[in-house]
Chains A and B, each alone.
Chain A
């Protein structure tokens, strides 16, 4: 099974396009394979004959690198040194290195406490029916619902329409809303971000998708100088009700220019709101709120979380308040604070800490600006210890801000210094081992929690 996307761990063998005994040449399509994102055609690299098909059509969950067929070199090819090295699907046991590289990819671990956690939200009425959906679907549904409700809402960005979204978040929207409201742009971030702000000045409610937030750096001037400051500069006459959204933070092995967490960058700026959800229910309820908000809203998603499934309330119009953190789990020994993908880390850490007798309270910030410091402070006054967790760089981070607030407002309650777990202070390296070192992991969270509890 070939790896056909940066985040693929297993795939479905959707269809064989060759049969045993077929002769194939380089470029021939061997099979259709469903990855975590799409159905891909898989081509032969070398000439040869299909020996045995080892995996039946329709088989799901075939691990990357598991042999799916054998190939035999044809006689003419024997002289060529390439004949001994057949294409990827040859059943030679994957080399040790290959195995290692695959294992190094972040496994989408979904800790057990999560389901319970996602269910207990004061905003969701008791007894509400829940449906399980991915974060990707929740975001799509939020946009679709708001577009049905309000004709001024439209979606614009690279590959959002015909391609159905580079990460498939806008799947089906073009079909439902048409090309007037679901608009493919050229690769001109600064231009279409500014165009969106202008349209918002004129009363439309644009949703501008950045393929990833890394590319929004091309557009950051319009986001901050135009969207963020115009209400103030115009003495309140003019506003920009616009949502800028897309995946933020490192994905997997995509290197320094494509792996950056912009949480603290945008959280720094007055005049905008910043949302960074983890659970599908929050993604949905907060994106709907963002679209209705009269202010510019930065909506930070996470590529690795798109495929994670969580319960989402089955309500006709589920809108959550912006600016409220949520206590995901109550505890008494230490407060763990995170947002976005790192909520998964603190949930996992809490499970392990519990087995060692440390009862952690978990806070999902959900919104980074305005930051719900009240919820954080209330927790710290109870637990007397706090660890913040994020993927961003340590200097001027979300954790730095929280540490400062806690030191100012809850100094007398602290039994240990507020502690940050962050990404390392370097550009993201590509190599699997270095990338792993650069990112915060569950073990780092556990170590920090134990340190503030003076345990080892």
Chain B
């Protein structure tokens, strides 16, 4: 599916971390960490330990892991509310992420943000936003700051197929191209916005073309193939870093779970979900490839899973044992 459409050949030589050096096995690990973390989050939600909205990233892991491998330290990430995967990929600690999900003092936002609103200044993760589309101008603003400072950094701005119809996305697109801002717009096209399929919401369903009236190039990528994502990410980030302005990557992906924990997902058939799970699962896919190419053994993969389960269980334990925020925190951080 990785149909390169109007992809620019940047010719930019990838360097440092933003290159092909991260091993496939590491990418496997990073995707599986997200998968297991999300499964655990779903479980804690079922137990009433996580409240409110909780949007799981299961099925989409290859997108954020592939992109992260293509980034360099200093590049910024911003996304919407389906954000746990993005945080884990950029190196945020699963313990503190889980503790935020359970609303504890040890969480990244001291328990005040929750699943949808987490940030890490240290890891250049800018949230965690609940209003569909709002992060797109914000991510464009991060790119503006990069250009202003001429610091060579790139903003990786994620949003969904549904968000792609918000007006502010196009206001941002126009400014980004007009001012040649270094921003990669990653459209995670998981084919649904809540219960609405892209066909029912979008006049143009090829989201990589959404920048065409602003002259922003775009490419469609198989978002279930982590290696394809990394390749596309390297090219796109290179394009931005070399001063050519914004670029769009449309990641064709799929979410296995409901929109949030409370979505019965009656708008698609069980067979549709099963088919993707069985035929296109990004983790299974890479696992098979690792074994086939003798880059890892069955036992290696089992060991990875075992280690990850330990990390995730420890995170859950930490998150359920940490204290709730002190009452005084109600009034802190409102203003500087």
Contacts and interface: CB of A to CB of B under 8 A. Distances in A.
Interface of A: 2-6, 8, 26-27, 29, 35, 37-42, 45, 64-65, 79-82, 85, 87-89, 94-95, 97-99, 101-102, 104-105, 158-159, 162-163, 166, 184, 186-188, 190-191, 214-215, 217-218, 251-258, 424-427, 429-434, 437-438
A257 B51 contact: no
Given A218-B131, A256-B130, 20 more contacts: A2-B47, A3-B45, A3-B47, A3-B261, A37-B262, A40-B258, A85-B313, A98-B320, A163-B266, A187-B163, A251-B52, A254-B116, A429-B112, A429-B329, A430-B112, A431-B329, A432-B51, A433-B327, A434-B324, A434-B329
Contacts of A429: 111-112, 325, 329-330
B52 A253 contact: yes
Interface string B139-152: 00000000000000
A297 to B, nearest CB: 24
A252 B261 CA distance: 14
Contacts of B310: 81
A429 B196 CA distance: 30
How many chain B residues sit at the interface, stated as a range, is: 35 or more
B201 A257 contact: no
Nearest to A437: B330
Contacts of B103: 253, 430-434
Contact of B320 (A27, A64, A95, A166): A95
Contacts of A40: 258, 262, 264
Contact of A41 (B111, B113, B264): B264
A434 B325 contact: yes
21 contacts: A37-B262, A65-B47, A81-B310, A82-B309, A88-B47, A98-B49, A105-B51, A158-B194, A163-B196, A184-B196, A187-B166, A215-B131, A218-B133, A254-B53, A255-B115, A255-B130, A429-B112, A429-B330, A430-B51, A432-B51, A433-B325
Given A190-B167, A434-B327, A253 B262 contact: no
Interface string B179-222: 00000000000000111100011100000000000000000000
A291 B247 CA distance: 45
Contact of A162 (B114, B267, B313): B267
A407 to B, nearest CB: 28
B289 interface: no
B43 interface: yes
A437 B327 contact: yes
The 8 closest A-B pairs by CB, nearest first: A2-B46, A430-B114, A253-B51, A253-B52, A5-B262, A431-B103, A257-B130, A431-B111
Contact of B130 (A6, A37, A39, A258): A258
B195 A430 contact: no
Given A6-B51, A6-B262, A432-B103, A187 B162 contact: yes
A77 B86 CA distance: 30
Contact of A94 (B47, B196, B270, B325): B47
B19 interface: no
Contact of A187 (B109, B112, B201, B264): B201
A393 to B, nearest CB: 11
Contacts of B84: none
B42 interface: yes
Given A5-B261, A102-B48, A434-B327, A97 B313 contact: no
A163 B112 contact: no
Interface in B310-335: 310, 313, 320-321, 324-325, 327, 329-331, 334
A344 to B, nearest CB: 21
A4 B48 CA distance: 9
Interface string B117-142: 10000000000011111000000000
Contacts of B100: 430
Given A4-B261, A65-B48, A434-B327, A255 B114 contact: yes
B329 to A, nearest CB: 6
Contacts of A433: 103, 324-325, 327
Given A27-B277, A65-B48, A255-B130, A434 B330 contact: yes
Contacts of B130: 214, 255-258
Given A98-B48, A186-B202, A258-B53, A45 B39 contact: yes
Nearest to B105: A431
A427 B334 contact: yes
A116 B46 CA distance: 37
A162 B199 CA distance: 13
Nearest to B109: A430
B187 to A, nearest CB: 13
A215 B166 CA distance: 12
Contacts of A255: 52-53, 113-117, 130
A65 B265 CA distance: 23
B262 A426 contact: no
Contacts of A80: 305-306, 309
A35 B48 contact: no
Contacts of A251: 52
Contacts of A65: 47-48
B117 A430 contact: yes
Given A4-B262, A255-B114, A255-B117, A426 B330 contact: yes
A188 B193 CA distance: 12
Given A27-B256, A187-B162, A427-B334, A257 B116 contact: yes
A117 to B, nearest CB: 31
Interface in B261-304: 261-267, 270, 277
Chain B CB within 10 Å — which of A2, A104, A186, A251 has the most? A186
Residue of A26, A64, A97, A162 most packed against chain B (CB within 10 A): A97
A256 B42 CA distance: 22
Given A26-B39, A97-B320, A434-B330, A187 B165 contact: yes
Contacts of A427: 334
Contact of A163 (B195, B202, B256, B270): B195
Contacts of B241: none
Given A2-B47, A257-B129, A426 B334 contact: yes
A35 B202 contact: no
Contacts of B48: 3, 64-65, 94, 98-99, 101-102, 105
Contacts of B202: 186
A433 B104 CA distance: 10
A89 B38 CA distance: 17
A45 to B, nearest CB: 5
Contacts of B133: 187, 218
Contacts of B263: 38
Contact of A253 (B114, B277, B324, B327): B114
Highest count of chain A CB atoms <10 Å: which of B48, B116, B133, B329: B48
B325 A6 contact: no
Given A2-B46, A98-B49, A255-B130, A434 B111 contact: yes
Given A163-B195, A186-B165, A256 B117 contact: yes
A82 B313 contact: yes
